[in-house]
Every structure is written in structure tokens, then in C-alpha cells.
Amino acid sequence: MTMLAVLVPSAQAEGRSSQPDAGIAKTGKIARYDKSKAQCRGSYRCLRDYHQRKRCNRKPRGSVSQTKCYVVYAARYYGQNPRDALATVSCESTFSRHAENGPYLGPWQFDKPTWNATPHSQKIVRTAKGSVVRDPQGQLKTKRRSRTNAKYSSLGAMWYWRHGGRRRWPVCG
């Protein structure tokens, strides 16, 4: 674990913003968690995330094991404790993507306003060649992601935890 801390420098040490996902929808850049192996260009963190995603994608779609895999992946991506994250999801939804409790949906039980506030709730629309699509005013076109998607709901929850929003899960968090 110490080796990992040495190999993975902090965001401020690299001169980046402490909010790595801020502005993705505005700039059209591909986030590290969505890059292909070729797009990583040898970056240790990017390649590590790529291989973890590949492991999660091999698990049966929508299964408990895939949800657990994405929870651990998201916790590591945002520097949170994976055990705490797994305990919270277990309490909230017993790892079910289809868990529903009133207005709350998915493994993390997001409500609409909370989900829409995360940078992971939308994706940029791209053409078949990979270029971004813009509307007539020049704004990037985006589509909403589902709150029941295990990968993006876990990334959204860990983004909240990193930015002090752990209180959004008062019972289980």
C-alpha cells in the first residue's frame, strides 16, 4: 500500500485541480476512468484504472460481484476506503442495481437532484469517429446516465464522499 502512495502522486502535486472531474462536460475531454488502453499513453494510474475496469466488465452484467467490483474501483479512484463503501452499499441496497425506495434508486440510493449534481450523471455525445457533438449555440450535447448504473453511481457517490458529501447517506454512511 505504501508503494501505491509513492507511485500515485496527489492532484495538487501534479498541478491539477483538486476536483478532477470539474469541467469535463464543458471541455469535452475524456476522463481517466473512460480512456482506452491506447489513450493512457503509459500513465500508471490510467493503466491501473483500465485493467480494473476490464476486470469488472468480465463479471456478469448487473451481478452482485460486478457491483462490488465497481464500488471498490470507484473508492480507489477517489482515494476512499473500499470497506466503508462496500458496507454502505450493502446497507443501502444489498448490492442490487434495481433497489428502489421511494424517490431513491440504484445501489447507492440516489435521488434525482443529488444524482444530477454529480459529474458522472451525464456523458458527452460523440460521433462514430469520436468527435464531440455540439448544438447550434456551440454547447456540448450531453445525455443523462441512469442512477442504477453500478459503475457511474459508484463513481458519483465516491465523488461526493471526496468532496465532503458523506452525510448524504445518513443511515448507512
pLDDT tens sequence across 44-72: 777 777 778 788 888 888 889 999 999 99
Q: How far apart are CA 118 and CA 31, in angstroms?
A: 14
Residue 127 forms part of a structural domain: no
Percent with pLDDT over 90 in the chain: 32
Residue 161 lies in domain = 30-114+147-168
pLDDT at 103: 93
Residue 48 forms part of a structural domain: yes
Burial of 123 (0-12, 13-18, 19+ CB in 10 A): middle
Q: Which of 7-21, 44-58, 104-118 has the highest mean pLDDT?
A: 104-118
Quick one: angle between helices 150-162 and 64-77, nearest 10? 30
Q: What is the mean pLDDT of residues 107-114?
A: 92
Q: What's the pTM value of the predicted model, to 2 decimals?
A: 0.71
Residue 107 forms part of a structural domain: yes
User: How many structural domains compose the chain?
Assistant: 1
Residue 71 forms part of a structural domain: yes
* Cβ-contact 82, 76 below 8 angstroms: yes
Question: How many other C-beta atoms lie within 10 A of the C-beta of residue 52?
Answer: 18
